[in-house]
Amino acid sequence: MTQSKPSFASQTSVPATYMRGGTSKGTFFKLSDLPVRCQVAGESRDNFLLRVIGSPDPYGKQIDGLGNGSSSTSKTVILSPSEKSDHDVNYLFGQVNIAKPMIDWAGNCGNLTAAVGACAINMGLVAADKIANSIHENADSGICEVRIWQENIGKTIIAHVPVYKDVNDKVQVQETGDFELDGVTFPAAEVKIEFIDPVDSSSDMFPTNNLVDDFDVSGCGLKADRVKATFISAGIPTIFMRAEDLGFTGTELQSDINSNDELLTKLEKIRARGGVAMGLFKDESEAQTSQHIPKIAWVGKSQSYTASSGKPVEASEIDLVVRAMSMGQLHHAMMGTAAVAIAAAATTQGTLVNEAAGGGQSEKQLDEVRFGHPSGTLLVGGKTEQVDGRWQAKKVSMSRSARRIMVGAVFVPADAF
């Protein structure tokens, strides 16, 4: 008697690492560990990663995957050895849509960037001698400088990853520590991140060639048809507006925004309109296929408020307040890439972000700012300058933390990709 094949699909297991980076979480893969047909960009890879995360999910919970039902946790990363002689690892980021069968490959995740260096070391993608030499003779700890090539945006990022010698004198990544990052419950080891030349020298950091534009928002539901806006492409394309022009204070929490469908619709219309103004879309309808960019954010002068954790944030502790939307929802803290945009804009005199930070009140050039976000505060630094009449960000820096949560294998139905 011939045995019939089962009518159900088998499961494929693939090595994976689940990590927190900054205020985000994601599933990390080594490119060579993926199924062969998923090692190249295309439908098979997208379908595989969608199934890993549990999208699309009309319930919005991603119960049948590793996503947690928020943009901050619906993320994937693919790492591979860098072909560039002066870089250690290639980093490719995919932002997975929760409700739609879509992965946005257009931008970077600055938060998960903090985990890339550590993950690359643990995956064996960083040369062993480089790791060993990061600890000086007679020392027990040091910093391993991991040079990352961010494939989505074609940029260099340097992660300063703390390392130490274990009891067997083997160099390990330090993941625990006393560095506190607002938006993350537990302290961990500090990872300093530097974004080098986050804007192409041939591109305009301010795509409209203006530090501030009169932005046409007619039909978007605001009281005025035109408001001030700073459009910037640094870290990630971002639209900055004054909180008051949107009817906000700048101290909003997720509960103030994310349950209000009318507000969300209004902000999405403005984001789509801004994407056209920045040259990212030919028309506003294209915004539906790229929810990762541009980001929309609003700024206000420093003021006291209570963070989502209940922690008081005093006006004297910060230079300004910033709130930003991610994938149609107010972010619970601040996206790393948006923090790059904040740093670049805040350190460029004449932008709305610089104005909110008090930069317009003196001739002194700001080189760092501490801003308040829904979960607390964050210090960012930047250096911008004009070259041949064009603004350029030479470097932006910030501190984050990262930690492995799980290392093992993820299981995906074989007929899913």
Please state, in angstroms and as integers, the Cα–Cα distance from residue 108 to each residue in 76, 95, 409, following that order.
11, 9, 25
Q: Distance (Å, rounded) from C-alpha 294 to C-alpha 276?
A: 10
pLDDT at 198: 79
Q: pLDDT, tens digit, for every residue of 47-95?
A: 999 999 999 999 999 999 999 999 999 999 999 999 999 999 999 999 9
* Amino acid letter, residue 97: N
Q: What is the pLDDT of residue 289?
A: 85
Report pLDDT for 202: 64
Active site residues: 109, 335
* C-beta neighbour count of 131 within 10 angstroms: 21
Specify the pLDDT at position 361: 65
Burial status of residue 308 (CB atoms within 10 A of its CB: 0-12, 13-18, 19 or more): middle
User: Residue 4 carries which DSSP code?
Assistant: P
* Ranges of the chain with pLDDT below 70: 1-3, 200-202, 361-364
Answer whether the bond into residue 312 is a cis peptide, omega within 30°.
no
Largest Cα separation within the chain, whole Å, is: 89
Structural domains of the chain, ranges and CATH numbers in brackets:
11-199+403-416 (3.10.310.10), 213-395 (3.10.310.10)
What is the pLDDT, as a whole number, of residue 201? 63
Contact (CB, 8 A) for 150 and 108: yes
User: Residue 145: its pLDDT value, please?
Assistant: 97
pLDDT for 388-414, tens place per residue? 778 888 889 999 999 999 999 999 999
In whole angstroms, give the CA distance from residue 136 to residue 169.
Answer: 13
CA distance 41 to 122: 24
CA 41 to chain centre: 21
Please state the φ and ψ torsions of residue 188, each to the nearest 5 degrees. -155, -170
pLDDT of residue 384: 87
Show the 3-state SS of 132-166: HHCCCCCCCEEEEEEEEEECCCCEEEEEEEEEEEC
Q: What CA–CA distance (Å, rounded) separates 177 from 175?
A: 7
Give the dihedral sign, CA 141/119/332/342: positive
Distance between CA atoms of 226 and 402, rounded to whole angstroms? 41
pLDDT at 2: 64
Cis peptide before 56 (omega within 30 of 0): yes
Q: How far apart are CA 414 and CA 301, in angstroms?
A: 53
Question: Which 8-state DSSP code applies to residue 288?
Answer: G
Rounded CA-CA distance 228/344 in Å is 18
* Predicted pLDDT at 288: 87
Bond preceding residue 35 cis, omega within 30 of 0: no
Scanning 60-156, the segments in alpha helix (DSSP H) are 110-122, 128-133
